[in-house]
Structure 1
C-alpha cells in the first residue's frame, strides 16, 4: 500500500506502511464540533481499511477539544474504534512544545498510565520522533524471517 496522503476537509491522512502508522495532520481548528466528529469518523474508516491501529494525530494547528468533545472521544469514539479493530488502539497526540507543556501541566491531565485498563492508549508529545517511537514500541514484533 502506498503512503499517498488522503485529503479530508480538516485533515491530511497518510498511511505509512513502513512505520505501520496512520498520520493525521489537522489543517485547522473546526468551527463546529460536528465537523470534528465527522473527520474523526473518516479517520476511523481509513484506519480500518488499512488495519492500522497506531495513529499519530498532529494537532499543532488545532486547539484542545472542548469538554463535550473530550467526553465523546474518551467514552464513545475510542472504545468504539477499538471494538471494531478487536484490538487495542494507540493514539499519539502531537502538539507544539508550548501547548504540550500546558497540557501536561493542566490539573486534568491524564498520563499514559491512566489508560492501562482501557481498550485504547493515549499519549501526548511535543516531538514527532518521540511520538512515533512510542507507537512503534507498542506494535507487535513481526515473526522472524525464515
Structure 2
C-alpha cells in the first residue's frame, strides 16, 4: 500500500554526543521551499549553539546556483556571526551530485575557505564526514 503523504523535505537532529547538527534532506527541493527550510535550520542551530553541521544531501540531484551564492555570500557568514565562531559544514553527497558540484564553474576546494568565517567539504562517506567535523572540533580546542 502506498502513502500519499510526502516525505519531509528535511529532518534535523542535534547529535549532542558529537556536537553536530545533522540535516537529512528527503528530496530535491523547489528553490521556493528553501527560505522556510533555512529559517528552520537557523532556529535549530542557534538553539543548539551548533557550529558543526552534517548536511546529508544524497537525495538531491542539483544545487540551485542562486541559492548557492546566497549561502556562500550571506547565510553562512551570518550564521557564523550569530553562533560566535567559525561554521563547519560537511556535505554528504551522492556520486552524481558530487561530480556536478566539483565540475561546475567557480567550484571552491575546501582549502580555499581558509579566509572565510565558514569551511565546507564534500564527502561520499558519512564516517569520513563526521571524522572531518571531529578533527575541526579538536583543532579548535587547541
TM-score by length of 1: 0.84
SS at match of 1:55: strand
Q: Which residue of 2 aligns with 1:63?
A: 61
List gaps (5 residues or longer) in structure 2. Answer: 1-6
1:88-138 deviation digits (Å, cap 9, x = unpaired): 000111111343234334443211011110001111111111110111101
TM (normalized to structure 2)?
Answer: 0.86
Task: Determine which of 62, 70, 82 is the counterpart of 1:72.
Answer: 70
CA contact (8 A) 1:9 1:39 kept: no
- Cα shift readout 1:24-82 (whole Å, capped 9, x = no counterpart): 00011122x23112201211210110111100000011133221111110001001111
Q: Tell me the residue number matched to 2:84.
A: 86
Aligned to 1:138: 136
Residue 21 (structure 2) aligns with:
22
Structure 1 unpaired stretches of 5+ = 1-7
- Of Structure 1 and Structure 2, the greater helix share is in 2
CA RMSD of aligned residues (A): 2.0
- Counting matched residue pairs gives 135
The 1:124–1:141 alpha-carbon spacing in structure 2 relative to 1, beyond 3 Å, is: closer
In structure 1, what is the Cα distance between the partners aligned to 2:106 and 2:11?
Answer: 29
- Seen in structure 2, the aligned counterparts of structure 1 residues 125 and 108 have a Cα distance that, compared at 3 Å, is same
